[in-house]
Structure 1
Amino acid sequence: MSTYEDRLKALREELASRKLTGFVVPLTDEHMSEYVGAYAQRLAWLTGFQGSAGSAVVMPEEAAIFTDGRYTIQVREQVDGEHWEYVSVPGTSIAEWLGDHADNGARIGYDPWLHTRQWVQSAEKALAEKGAELVAVDTNPIDAIWPDKPMPSAAKLIVHEDRFAGKTSAEKRQDMADAMAEKDVDAAVLAALDSIAWTLNVRGADVDHTPVALAYAIVHKDATADLYVEPDKMDDDVLRHLGNGVRVHARGAFKGALAEFKGKKVIADPERAVSAIFQALDDAGATIVSEQEPAVLPKAIKNAVELQGARDSHERDGAALVHFLHWLSLEAPKGGVTEISAARRLQQFREESELLRDLSFDAISGAGPHAAIPHYRVTEESSIPLEMDQIYLVDSGGQYPDGTTDVTRTVIIGTPTAEMRDRFTRVLKGHIALATAVFPKGTRGSQLDSFARQYLWQAGLDYMHGTGHGVGSFLGVHEGPQRISAANYPGSGWDEPLHAGMILSNEPGYYKAGEYGIRIENLVAIEEREIDGGEAVMLGFETLTFAPIDHKLIDASMLTPAEIDWVNGYHADVVAKIGPHLDDATAAWLGEVCAPLDG
């Protein structure tokens, strides 16, 4: 089908043949993943939208695409407004939109392997109030009209060595079994791909930039587990690694296995297990314990080996980024550098370490107006040159066996305007406020979010994304349950108390549509802090990312003495940690751009 209009028409015809009035198209897979394999990119195939979060609803005469504030500009560039209504979330939910637009007697289809039970219940309620019905489909109608739909990845699993994991799979499963015993639970379903990878100390290559494998797992109270994965994806090394404590089955056997839990108590995660899993357990007569997968929190709280791996991988990654920034400082003013050529050159610098396994996401390489799109994704078609007196923003990261990185730097090619320096300095002040925060154990990320926004708010400004997300250990660059975000910003569903050992991003920003964007992002690890005379257990942040912050964009007159000390101290650390990894010319350049600010 040559056009997105043709695809929309074909879907409407397919829905009509199934006697459905509409259909909901989320951007996820059977594991509620944020990033999904090519086979699950149904939203992109149908609409052209290339963002990493969104959904759509198709009705006989209407179609709507739902995105949050990160994609306000991008969705309008990529999706035809003649055929699609743009709807902003969380201002309007899909359930609310369906309740407003469905007629009495309407039958709205959904794929129960692509939605949570909570979503199903809310949509059912909204439709019932209009006399309409939510209908689970046996097969996804988009798959029926997608003629060249990719097959799921056939990549083999690999062993994630204990020297990187810091704990064996048997030890992790025993910890889970002990926790289940305390709750008198028989088993726990692991549906999230990163939970399975972490628990079994395996990795995969089934999702771009996220080293996970398409599988399901069930961990039992005796510390054994069942892994459901395509047999061709396993080799002898992985089987030996898993040992007798893990039984391996075909992935297609998973649903049938759920039918065997009659009379058993089974944990199923309401955020990570799809509606179909809950329904299968209900049909089996199991007692469902609706709570977080037992791998989620232990995975988020890094052990000492994982934390050291994060430090080591960030030094390696920081050296690659500094080499890139030095190269950019020389080449961009000459002309000829484009967004896509810059992103490719940065990847080449990362690859020189010979330890890079993948990028942790497609680099956000944005010049001028494209920098104002928080999750801009450069393509051959969209790429523009880097021009003088223009801001360039690059948000990128790498996947290494010992850690996952994610860093954003904003630089000026030429000379900034006074407004650019003002906005950049306000973002920097917010970044420093969060980096230096000290807070009691039990604090949630939502309580810290305003630390980073306060200086923008003073000028009547804000940014429409969270301030920080969790990061995995050679796993997802976005990891729950920790995050730093207030309730009125996208992605704020997680509000887990912050624990020592968690890794998060610190990334406030500012975006002026059509002109420029600014973001300063470092990763930080939570650590305990000793306070003289203090009585409470206190926490703070250890900075993991080391790369220069562009002096030309800083208005030092806006900084307090303490903030100037932080910038100077941070840059001294950058030179000390990254300098030894550099050639002489790059090291000399780094010394110049990290010279102390005058107070």
Structure 2
Amino acid sequence: MSHLRNLSARLQKLRSLMQNVKYVNEPLQAYIIPSGDAHQNEFLADCDNRRAYISGFTGSAGTAIVTENGAYMWTDGRYFLQASEEMDQNWTLMREGIQSTPTQSAWLTRTLPAGSRVGADPNLVMYSTWKPLQTDLEAAGIFLVPITTNLVDLIWDNKPAVPCNTIHPLSVKYTGKTSDVKVKEVRAEMKEKGARLLVVSALDEIAWLLNVRGSDISYNPVFFSYVILSMDQVHLFVEEAKLTPAVYNHFTVENLQVTIHPYDKLQSFLTDEISCQDGKIWVSPDSSYALSAAIPEKLRIGELTPIPVMKAIKNPVEIQGMINAHIRDAAAVCCYFAWLEKEVVKGTVTECSGAQKLEQFRREQEDFVGPSFETISSVGPHAAIIHYKPCAETDRQITAEEVYLCDSGGQYKDGTTDITRTIHLGTPSQYEQECFTRVFKGQCFFGTSVFPSKTKGNCLDTLARKYLWDVGLDYMHGTGHGIGMYLNVHEGPMGVSWRVYPNDPGLQEGMFLSNEPGFYEDGKFGCRIEDIVRIVRANVPYNFKMLNYLTFETVSLVPIQTKMLLPEMLTGKEITHLNEYHSRCREVVGPLLKKMGHNEALEWLYRETEPIG
């Protein structure tokens, strides 16, 4: 109970600060605590986990709103179960995506009287989120107030320090393009838009642009920084302690002139630039409200910058790197499942120890840096928690009696991986097989689809859900996310979801996405099949209006457990697709397992890829 009392005390302190005119000009009737940091990262450094600190809910997506007498958490279907388990009686879960759940703005306007003040840290909320919320609230006579001193930080005892890890260069052998060339390409776009300056606040965009990587955020090879590009200079705002001689040398080798400024001098630099000369400044609407609002509206180009799309469309070297990384990663995952099959009978493997063993197999692979996210090693009812993270308190034994779902990935210098396989080491029930088969059918239907170039990902989402919808089943997460090249495991601006991605430029050749339908029954089991797919040109007999048709090529190469499938539910086309895929797994991953001397894994691979009739 001390933990619950602790959270109650935190809310009490926060509410008193909401009334304290030392920090707020006038008392607040509500305070918003979003998930993000000043760079709108999905995964956070420990010092930025404010929403988790105040609520106890540790999922990567969610927004908390604290009022004078209530506390509410908006999160999506991936986290319903986790949030309800992690939060105490102070909190009310608001299930986003459910028709009866009001949006945050609708709820605030309905709950608060006119004249109320709603506070939020303008550094932590995207401009594209702030403005519509402000408009909705103003229509009801409610004010959205920027509170520059973060109120959660004021009550956070022993707040972790901001990380300051060293930055490392990534050579053109992996990137396929020097930073000098990338900067020139961005400047050409700036010229076309009439932009004098371009401000970059997204950390993966900065790492990609400069061909450097860091480790300030677990699993994401990024570092805290900002970049401002002019037509003749690159201004990098970063703590100088992070820069090694190798990084300075890298900039010299790549012919890039970089001026270093302290990380916290961005705002003053921008203010000086604005006051001393005119000219448009380009800043993404997905940057923080504080950053965008610092640029006068008449000077601001508030559109998606060119970097996200450039980064998403991989060049030939990056494409080959991604393919190679997935082959090595597949070898590690095959080793793990072969090991697990033998060990499970001893009754000693748990979710945590299994995840550790999998990482051990990945560490054997060339150019491995670390996991790309925390492994979701989940058995039985835990597999129904979409983003379950095993820990000492919840650790469960992996047995031959329950479904086991393992979603994991690796960061390699030549690529980032993300793969989910669901297996049963005993005998699955008919219902588990039916659900899994429907997930497979959707995965196959989506993965073999042909579509015109620049089709929005949102248009393809139903393909993966069709066979679940046929019988009234569904899953509460997107079908596909972009993935970085030795960068963030979730990468925009495109994606495949029931939600519309506002910045989706349309699916294009050279992009990599996940293909991951699933199904989850709370308290029972869950299944998901996730592959990374590369967008390639489709071979079509006609080409209506020269639209340039595309399709997917799967780069993940780990067998799908045929024991979990009901063959009578599959069409001839689906069976052929699966057999051909398994044949590729054998041919491509087999030689690497053989070369590494992993004979048990090789035997397992051959057994698991036996063709089905």
Task: Tell me if TM exceeds 0.5.
Answer: yes
Confirm or deny: 8 A CA contact 2:372 2:489 kept in the other structure. yes
Q: Please tell me whether the aligned partners of residues 482 and 514 of structure 2 are also in contact (alpha carbons under 8 angstroms).
A: yes
Tell me what 1:495 maps to.
504
> 1:89 and 2:87 equivalent?
no
CA contact (8 A) 1:466 1:492 kept: no
Q: Provide the residue aligned with 1:400 in structure 2.
A: 412
Partner AA of 1:279 in structure 2? A
In the alignment, is residue 574 of structure 1 matched against residue 574 of structure 2?
A: no
Q: Which residue of 2 aligns with 1:33?
A: 41
What is aligned with 2:531?
A: 522
Aligned equivalent of 2:146: 136
State the partner residue of 2:24: none
Aligned partner of 2:186 among 158, 176, 180 = 176
* Other-structure match for 1:379: 391
Map 1:158-557 → 2, pairs under 5 A: 158-222=168-232, 224-243=233-252, 245-259=257-271, 260-262=273-275, 263-271=278-286, 273-282=287-296, 287-353=299-365, 355-487=367-499, 492-535=501-544, 536=546, 537-557=548-568
In the TM superposition, 1:7-156 aligns within 5 A as 7-18=10-21, 19-80=27-88, 82-90=89-97, 91-156=101-166
Q: Deviations over 1:288-318 (max 9, x none)?
A: 1111122110000000000000011001100
Q: Deviations over 1:242-282 (max 9, x none)?
A: 245211110111011111135220111112x1111112112
Q: Distance in 1 between matches of 2:169 and 2:298?
A: 33
Tell me the CA shift for residue 533 of structure 1: 4.2
Deviation at 1:16, TM superposition (A): 2.0
Output the amino acid matched with 1:597: I
Q: CA RMSD in A?
A: 1.5
Report the 3-state secondary structure (helix = DSSP H, G, I; strand = E; otherwise coil) of the residue aligned with 2:468: helix
Q: 1:286 to 1:253 in 2, by over 3 A?
A: farther
Please give the secondary structure, in 2, of the residue aligned with 1:281. Answer: coil
What is the DSSP-based 3-state SS (H/G/I as helix, E as strand, rest coil) of the residue aligned with 1:419? helix
Q: Is the 8 A contact 1:445 1:496 kept in 2?
A: no
| Contact 1:98 1:126 (C-alpha < 8 Å) held by counterparts | no
**Cα shift at 1:23:** 1.1
Take 2:443 and 2:345, find their aligned partners in 1: how far apart are those partners? 28
The 2-side partners of 1:370 and 1:574 are apart by 29
Deviation at 1:492, TM superposition (A): 4.3
Identity %: 39
Output the CA distance in 2 between the equivalents of 1:130 and 1:146. 33
TM-score normalised by L of structure 1: 0.96
Counterpart contact for 1:261–1:286, Cα < 8 Å: no
Q: 1:454 to 1:300 in 2, by over 3 A?
A: same
Q: CA deviation at 1:495?
A: 3.1
Contact 2:334-2:604 within 8 A present in 1 as well: no
Q: Contact 2:367–2:414 (CA<8 Å) still a contact in 1?
A: no
Tell me the distance in 2 between the aligned counterparts of 1:442 and 1:108: 39
Using the TM superposition, give the Cα deviation of residue 241 of structure 1 relative to its aligned residue in structure 2, in angstroms. Answer: 1.8
Greater displacement, 491-500 / 62-71: 491-500
Query: In the alignment, what sits opposite 1:591?
Result: 606
Alpha carbons 1:109, 1:136 under 8 Å: kept: yes
The secondary structure found in structure 1 opposite 2:195 is coil
**1:389-434 deviation line (CA, Å, top 9, x unaligned):** 2100000000010000000000012100101111111111111111
Shift of residue 137 of structure 1? Answer: 1.2
Deviation, structure 1 residue 522: 0.4
Offset of residue 158 of structure 1: 0.8
Asked if the contact 1:524/1:545 (under 8 Å) is kept, the reply is yes
Letter in structure 1 aligned against 2:116: A
Deviations along 1:471-529, one digit per CA (max 9) or x if unpaired, are 00000100001111123xxx744533101000000001011111010100000110112
The Cα shift of 1:122 comes to: 2.7
Query: Could you tell me how far apart the structure 1 residues matched to 2:599 and 2:355 are?
Result: 24
Count of matched residue pairs: 590
1:315-350 superposed Cα distances (whole Å, 9 cap, x missing partner):
110000000000111112332221111111111111
Structure 1 residue runs without a partner (length 5+): none
3-state DSSP of counterpart to 1:357: strand
Answer whether contact 1:386 1:413 (CA < 8 A) is retained: no
Cα separation, 1, equivalents of 2:571 and 2:96:
37
Residue identity in the other structure for 2:288: V
Q: Is the 8 A contact 1:74 1:376 kept in 2?
A: yes
After the TM superposition, which of the residue ranges 38-47 and 91-100 deviates more from structure 2? 91-100
